[in-house]
Structure 1
Amino acid sequence: MIQGIFFARFLPQQGTKVVHQSPPGCIVPEPDVDRPRLFDFDLLSEYIIPRQAFCNRYVTICDPDCKYRILGHPVCIKDEKYERNEFMFNFCIVINADDDKIPYEAVVRRLASTFTEMEIQNQFLSLEDYSNSQDRRSIAALLEIIKEDLNNYNECMIPVDDANTINMKLFPIHPHPPPVKSWHVPISKIKFSEIIDDTWDLTMKKVISQIDGIKDVRRIAHDADVALDLTKIALQHLLYYDSVIMLDLFLFGNVYAPTPDVNDFIEDRDGMQDECANYVYINGPRLPNFYLCRLFTSLCTSRTVKEWLKLHIDQGFPVLNYVDVRRFIQFGVIKGLIYRVHKYTVSAQYLAGLVNGERKEWREWRTGEGMGRFADGCHCFDQICVERNIGDAKIMDQLWKFPKGDVEIIYR
């Protein structure tokens, strides 16, 4: 949200002066306007129109109270027609100090470049007081429209005169998403069927059609008949726009454990228990929410999902008759109620080789059937399952072929 916008210029006799501002009185006092100023302009005036070394570049300033941030791009135009052979001005935007300033940088740069060109063409800024033309908008009116349009619509298109138009748009800046791995499972957050159309990229459409919350990235690439690298790029775009989330492979040999946030579920904060029940219950009568709390709190680091199921079945609660276990686990992970405990394998022989500087290729080893390159403590079992297309039990069988006492399994 833009709190204020103003146009300042350097006057040889008066120094730096705010010529126009919106809303009125937000930067410097105006007659008949009773409005508190956003900050003390006199304290920051030397940074609004700085020395020439800082001109013609993007500048950000915080007020002394760190409440507001001023974004500007001071411009210095050198020409003999001006007094002192130069004309200096700045169009500044004021936002809250906590707001993200990155989307506004392009707007400030565009204001500086647009008005610089207009000043060079017909001295739009320097001769403002002497112009009586009815064919152009005033700078004060332009500032008001720019602020209102950007705040309300995130864009503006304003005709200034017969030859110039101000076109600007605020683009949201999302953080760069983490890399997509072949063993990740994408889950859609929106209904793609309602927004997809014929103009979408063909690769993206093929990838989206395979997202079902069960298939991993490699399986999606195979079923969509798309190269794995292109599939990852497509999913990276969906991650960037927060259209999908990435979870781990769901296997009954996985291990999960509660996080401290499970207390929010037990206290039913924001109706989380009913939300979970609507997502995970499949058959039979609706069970009390107590059973969901019991299921979450009974997960632990020493128990696989399969063992967790057997525990409840032995206690007389047939979980599979009422609960979709995959959706139950996914709900807990998405909400941060539980976390995945990954398994890694570490070979003492491999680590000793690294310490000694040996570069032996693991595929030459007879032990482990090529598992050596995964025995460095950096490859989880999910990655091994997907890249070698084998199950958890098969991985353990191959690890038993290493020398006795050489391999350790780490849970973290």
Structure 2
Amino acid sequence: PDKCPVFAVFYAEFDIKKGPVVRYQSPKNFLDLNLPEGGQSIFDSTSEYIITGSELTGKIITLSTHDVHVMTRPTQITNEKYERNSLLFSIGMVLRRAADPRPFRPLISKLAMTLRNMEIESGILSDPIKVRRTIQPLLERVLISMNSPRWECNLLLDRSTSLNLKLFHPPKPPASPVRNYQVPVLLVRDFQLGYYEWDLAINWVILHIDGITNARQISVKAEVDLEMVLACLRVLKHHGIISVVDMFLYTNRYECTERAAAMLTGREDKLLQEAMDFAVKRPQQHGVTDEHKNNNTGKIPSSSSPININWNEIFKEFDHRRFITFGVVNGLLIRVHSYPF
């Protein structure tokens, strides 16, 4: 799917005769996909960083190539039973270029350390039968789990070893401060606000948000210190409960977008209905309900309706400030700033 962050998971080793080789990968052959003439596969262009010298073993290496991120963790086990007295392997992931690679670092480290411990305890990586039976199914399960909505993987690898991986995304950066002249606009329905457990100050401020009043005016109406109001609005903005726009003035200049044209020509009926619900002065007005709605169902007639819509009459029933606010929040209008004023 388009939103899956992990494209592939692979296990590579250093072969004494061939050098770095990918033993197992999921999906199969992903790192060896054929490219246009003259190009290199993902593995060919990154092999020297997938299997490295001892100076980089135990380190997370991130490369950006072929429009993806390649993350690997080379690991070395020293023991006289191996040829050249060491086993050098690497576990890695191929990530979508738009994905943030930082949350995957602890996952790769834990996966590499789990395989290292299993090799030390039971020789799973140096036994051709055990490694074939274990690694390929493991990579397939990890790939599916890391692309699932839960971003979690829980596997029992053998009688004594379990693998538990959980992807934790870094927290969102704090929202930018709200200015005292900005107007907060609720982005959720009133009944949805009850799903959140806010403190008393935020609950009180929310009651005074109407899409018209700016932060300073809310402070006066709510009889709450301005700094407290700005702090509450910033919290709501951080959680996506509100958006903030410039205060409406009749001297402001706005430019319509293509989406506005689509709405007014009937190609965005749902959006037009939402605009009416947000901006109408009083519900069930005579000019809107009886003459301009389809069959009294509360819906604006589409462009194919035989009813001739009189927009001048309709706009008398709307609060112009809330209508402009709705347009800015939903990408129908763009504020135009001219200089010099």
TM-score strictly above 0.5: yes
Match of 2:47 among 25, 36, 45: 45
Alpha carbons 1:280, 1:325 under 8 Å: kept: yes
Return the alpha-carbon distance in structure 1 between the equivalents of residues 91 and 189 of structure 2. Answer: 42
Query: Rg bigger for which structure?
Result: 1
Report percent identity of matched pairs: 23
Query: Among 314, 317, 322, which residue is 1:327 paired with?
Result: 322
**Paired residues for 1:332-343 under 5 Å:** 332-340=327-335
Question: What is residue 89 of structure 2 aligned with on the other side?
Answer: 89
Task: Determine the structure 2 residue equivalent to 1:4.
Answer: 8
Give 1:244 deviation, angstroms: 1.9
Question: Normalised by the size of structure 2, how large is the TM-score?
Answer: 0.69
Q: Distance in 1 between matches of 2:128 and 2:232?
A: 54
Residue 280 of structure 1 aligns with which residue? 279
8 A Cα contact 2:8 2:95, kept in partner: yes
Aligned partner of 2:31: which letter?
Answer: I
CA deviation string 1:4-62 (max 9, x = no partner) = 22122323343212222112333359xxxxxxxx9453343223224455550341231
Partners of 1:204 and 1:10 lie apart in 2 by: 59
Deviation at 1:72, TM superposition (A): 0.9
Q: Residue 140 of structure 1 is aligned with which of 133, 136, 143?
A: 136
Amino acid across the alignment from 1:42? D
Query: Counterpart of 1:384?
Result: none
Residue in 1 aligned with 2:73?
74
Hey, what's the Cα distance between the residues in 2 that align with 1:317 and 1:207? 35
8 A contact 2:103–2:170 mirrored in 1: no
CA-based RMSD: 4.1
Amino acid at match of 1:61: S
Name structure 1 gaps, 5 residues minimum: 30-37, 293-315, 345-409
Say if 1:182 and 1:51 are closer, same or farther in 2 by CA, change over 3 A: farther
- Higher RCO (CA-CA < 8 Å; seq separation 6+): 2
Going from structure 1 to structure 2, the CA distance change for 1:52 and 1:197 (only over 3 Å counts) comes to: same
CA distance in 2, matches of 1:265, 1:126: 66
In structure 2, C-alpha distance between the alignment counterparts of 1:49 and 1:164, rounded to whole Å: 26
Offset at residue 178 of structure 1 (A) = 3.7
Structure 1 residues 47 and 254: alpha-carbon distance in aligned structure 2, compared to 1, 3 A threshold:
same
| Preserved contact between residue 79 and residue 86 of structure 1 (Cα < 8 Å) | yes
- Residue identity matched to 2:324: I
Alignment of 1:13-412 (within 5 A): 13-28=17-32, 39-52=41-54, 54-55=56-57, 56-63=59-66, 66=67, 69-77=68-76, 79-80=78-79, 83-84=83-84, 86-97=86-97, 100-102=98-100, 104-116=101-113, 119-120=116-117, 123=120, 127-130=124-127, 138-161=134-157, 162-169=160-167, 171=169, 177-191=175-189, 193-194=191-192, 196=194, 200-201=198-199, 203-221=201-219, 228-229=226-227, 231-251=229-249, 253-259=250-256, 261=258, 262-265=260-263, 267-271=265-269, 273-281=272-280, 282=282, 283-286=285-288, 317=312, 321-340=316-335, 411=341
Instruction: Say which SS state the counterpart of residue 30 (structure 2) adopts.
Output: coil
Where structure 2 has 5 or more consecutive residues not aligned to the other structure, the ranges are 34-39, 294-299, 301-310
Map of 1:366 onto structure 2: none
Give 2:297's aligned residue. Answer: none
Partner letter of residue 94 of structure 2? V
TM-score w.r.t. structure 1 length? Answer: 0.59
Task: Evaluate the alpha carbon distance shift between residue 278 and residue 191 of structure 1 in structure 2; reply closer, same or farther with a 3 A threshold.
Answer: closer
Corresponding residue SS for 1:44: helix
TM-superposed CA distance for 1:119, in Å, is 1.6
Q: Pick closer, same or farther for the CA change 1:131–1:154 going to 2, 3 Å.
A: same
